[in-house]
Chain A
Amino acid sequence: MGKREDIKKTYKLYIGGKFPRTESGRYIKWTDPKNSTYVNVCRGSRKDFRNSVVAARNAFTDWSSRTAYNRSQILYRIGEMLEGKRSQFMDELMLQGASKNAAENEINRAIDRLIYYAGWADKYQQLFSRVNPVAAPYFNFTYTEPTGVVAAIAPDDSSLVGLVSIMAPIIAGGNTVVLLASELKPLCSISFAEVLHTSDVPAGVVNILTGYRDELIEHFSTHMDVNSIVYCGNDPDDIKTIQENAALNVKRPVVYADEDWMDQKNQGPYHILNNLESKTTWHPIGL
């Protein structure tokens, strides 16, 4: 018997709860920093993005109308599943250039962050809702609603904790999301989709694409059915493009410039608030 060949994984996209290849048939050859391994990663296209938005829109009604408690449970479940796949993520993070220690810390932080937002998922409403004093016979109150379909360009420098830190507050708030994974370190973003897939996250709530930022940013920011765009990075041209295009349908543009996602300071309910809308109701009362 000859030497056994390893069976390599095909890194595909995650759209609507399925793992399709890119419709464009294009691939990016990704090589690890030591030049020892390479994989073909899908080069997602405009149409992959369009399909993801359709999936996210279809998933929105169900996801946003679930109880906050249920969303919280599901976020917790993602954390549980990630814990169980620790060794796979260790390998991938190290292949992407992390030291063993750094990889371990990153996984711990990613899991903790999921649990953190699982906790917030049924509590931020109390924090951001309020009763407003008005000088008229009304009971005037404000409460939060999810913004809708969010398109998010995840941080380029950290593929797991970065992606999780962007995704978790968005879905905790009842939004659905299309994420563009790190261009430099795409591997564990795709593997993270497998975690989502086994965590009771309904199909279409999270969709993950890989590909080139430069190519996709235009489409992420112009799509009229996207209600909010989150951008992680500090390229002034990118930010300008996003802010200008967001005006087309008054998307909410959210920019995280240089956040260190390993830092616990960069988590909090205000990240959830970034993709929430406030609804104020004037309810007549007798005097």
Chain B
Amino acid sequence: MITSVYIHPIDQIGAQERVARLFSRSIKKESKVHALKMALSMIDLTTLEGKDSSGKVKQLCYKASHLHDQYPDLPSVAAICVYPTMVPIAKKALEGTSINIASVATAFPSGMSSMENKLDEVKKVVDDGANEVDMVISRGKFLSGEYDYVADEISQIKDACEKAHLKVILETGELVTLDNVRLASDIALNAGADFIKTSTGKISPAATPPVVLVMLEAIRDHYKKTGKKIGMKPAGGISKAKQAIQYLVMVRETLGKDWLTPDLFRFGASSLANDVLMQIVKQSTGHYQSGNYFSID
């Protein structure tokens, strides 16, 4: 239970300027290839659509473990991210690989359901084999000032996750201001999140650079206070390798090298993997690539 809330004010222009300066950094040649491979290893390959089928999920799982067979030294992605009903299918398809299974839960993407249902859903996906759970916070409650409700919700779900990692989606596009983003981040960090995540990808704007910066700063301050390293996952709208590298620069400069690992940083994305692969092939052949030579997803 949080009894008092400290509002950490955010300088919006400052955040934008800082992001602009970090993003102007140019990463070339070997460092670029290194960054691209790192980005690949951090991807939560995602499919969260109403039209998802078991075939689509199997195809995605196959892709997760065979990113580009002509380049055998590529890492695999960190996890695949699917709806609860798809977890058993993914579990079977990923047998024998080290790829994690993340499932969204808690009435994703709206979060509009009873606490009881949410807990049941979380328990079910963990039983089915998900080792990462992506929950959404109740934005309506948050915006009407019921911060305790949000904090309680997160900690109850954290308990229900047992060994599974919990990623808390703030859905920053609905939180309106950066001050709210910071406050929601602080609540999630204190309530036991293993990762905080920007968005569901279902509403626009999704992950924007200033929002990610504010969340990274919340993680940094939390680490300084408690010594606990919490992970970060920007999601939604990250489809280009260039953006991914820019985010890696931001993480490196805000949190340091320790966070440059799939254990503490992820990208939630569906088409990012192909663009990163295209850039890796471009770096090795020298020719700009075409989507025709990469898997359709």
> A residues touching B (Cβ–Cβ < 8 Å)?
50, 53, 219, 222-225, 248-249
Expressed in whole angstroms, the Cα–Cα distance for A37 and B287 within the complex equals 39
Is the Cβ of A53 less than 8 Å from the Cβ of B288? yes
Query: What 0/1 readout, one digit per residue, does chain B (285-297) give for beta carbons within 8 Å of chain A?
Result: 0111111110000
- List the A side residues contacting B291 at CB < 8 Å: 225
Quick check: A225 and B290 within 8 Å, CB to CB?
yes
The listed residue with most B CB atoms (<10 A of its CB), out of A223, A224, A248, A249, is: A224
Please, how many angstroms separate the alpha-carbon atoms of A224 and B293 in the complex? 9
B256-297 interface bits toward A, Cβ cutoff 8 Å, 1 = contact, 0 = none: 000000000000000000000000000000111111110000
Contact A248 B287 (CB under 8 A): yes
- From A249, which residue of chain B is reached at the shortest CB distance? B290
CA distance A225 to B293 in the complex (A): 9
Q: Which residue of B lies closest to A47 (CB)?
A: B288
Residues from chain A with a CB closer than 8 A to the CB of B287 are 222-224, 248
Q: Which residues of chain A are near B288, meaning CB under 8 Å?
A: 50, 53, 219, 222-225
Output the least CB separation between B29 and chain A (Å): 15
What is the CA–CA distance of A28 and B293 in the complex, to the nearest angstrom?
36
Classify the interface of chain A: helix, strand, loop or mixed.
loop
Taking CB atoms, residues of chain A closer than 8 Å to B286 are 222
Query: How far apart sit A219 and B286, CA to CA, in the bound complex (Å)?
Result: 10
Given contacts A223-B288, A225-B289, A249-B293, 19 further A-B contacts (CB under 8 A): A50-B288, A53-B288, A219-B288, A222-B286, A222-B287, A222-B288, A223-B287, A223-B290, A224-B287, A224-B288, A224-B289, A224-B292, A224-B293, A225-B288, A225-B290, A225-B291, A225-B292, A248-B287, A249-B290
Bound complex: CA A107 to CA B33 (Å): 50
> What would be 23 A-B contacts, judged by CB atoms less than 8 Å apart?
A50-B288, A53-B288, A219-B288, A222-B286, A222-B287, A222-B288, A223-B287, A223-B288, A223-B290, A224-B287, A224-B288, A224-B289, A224-B290, A224-B292, A224-B293, A225-B288, A225-B289, A225-B290, A225-B291, A225-B292, A248-B287, A249-B290, A249-B293
Q: How far is the CB of A255 from chain B (nearest CB, A)?
A: 21
> How many Å lie between the Cα of A25 and that of B187 in the bound state?
46
Residues in B neighbouring A225, C-beta threshold 8 A = 288-292
Q: Which 10 pairs across A and B sit closest by C-beta, in order of nearness?
A: A225-B290, A224-B290, A222-B287, A223-B288, A224-B289, A50-B288, A224-B287, A224-B288, A248-B287, A225-B288
By beta carbon, the residue of chain A nearest B290 is: A225
| Closest chain A residue to B288, Cβ basis | A223
Task: Report the bound CA distance from A53 to B292 in whole Å.
Answer: 14
Residue of B nearest to A223 (CB): B288
A81 to B293, CA, bound (A): 40
Task: Give the residue name and chain of the A residue nearest to B293 (CB).
Answer: A224
B281: nearest residue on chain A (CB-CB)? A224
Measured CB to CB, the nearest residue on chain B to A219 is: B288
Q: How far is the CB of B292 from chain A (nearest CB, A)?
A: 7
Q: How far is the CB of A57 from chain B (nearest CB, A)?
A: 8
- Residues of chain B within 8 A (CB-CB) of A50 are 288
Q: Report B253 CB to chain A, min CB distance, Å.
A: 24
Residues on the A chain within 8 Å of B293, using CB: 224, 249
Complex CA–CA separation, A219 to B289 (angstroms): 12
In the complex, chain B residues whose CB is within 8 Å of the CB of A249:
290, 293
Chain B proximity of A250: nearest CB distance (Å): 11
Most buried by A among B288, B289, B292, B293: B288
Query: Which B residues are CB-close (under 8 A) to A224?
Result: 287-290, 292-293
Bound CA–CA A224/B291 (angstroms): 9
Docked complex Cα distance between A223 and B292 (Å): 12
- Inter-chain contacts of A219 with B (CB < 8 A): 288
User: Among B287, B289, B293, which residue has the most Cβ atoms of chain A within 10 A?
Assistant: B287
B290 CB contacts on chain A under 8 angstroms = 223-225, 249
Shortest beta-carbon distance, B284 to chain A, in Å?
Answer: 13
Chain B 41-53 near chain A by CB (<8 Å), digits 1 or 0: 0000000000000
Q: How far is the CB of B82 from chain A (nearest CB, A)?
A: 28
A249 CA to B293 CA, complexed, in Å: 10
Closest to B291 in A: A225
CB nearest neighbor in A for B282? A224
Output the least CB separation between A181 and chain B (Å).
Answer: 21
Q: List B contacts of A53 (CB < 8 A).
A: 288
A46 closest partner in B (C-beta): B288
> Within the assembled complex, what's the spacing in Å between the Cα atoms of A222 and B289?
9
Residues of B within 8 A of A248 (CB): 287
Closest CB in chain A relative to B81 CB, distance in Å: 27
Cα(A249)–Cα(B291), bound, Å? 12
Q: Residues of A contacting B289 with CB < 8 Å? A: 224-225
Nearest Cβ distance between residue B202 and chain A, in whole angstroms? 23
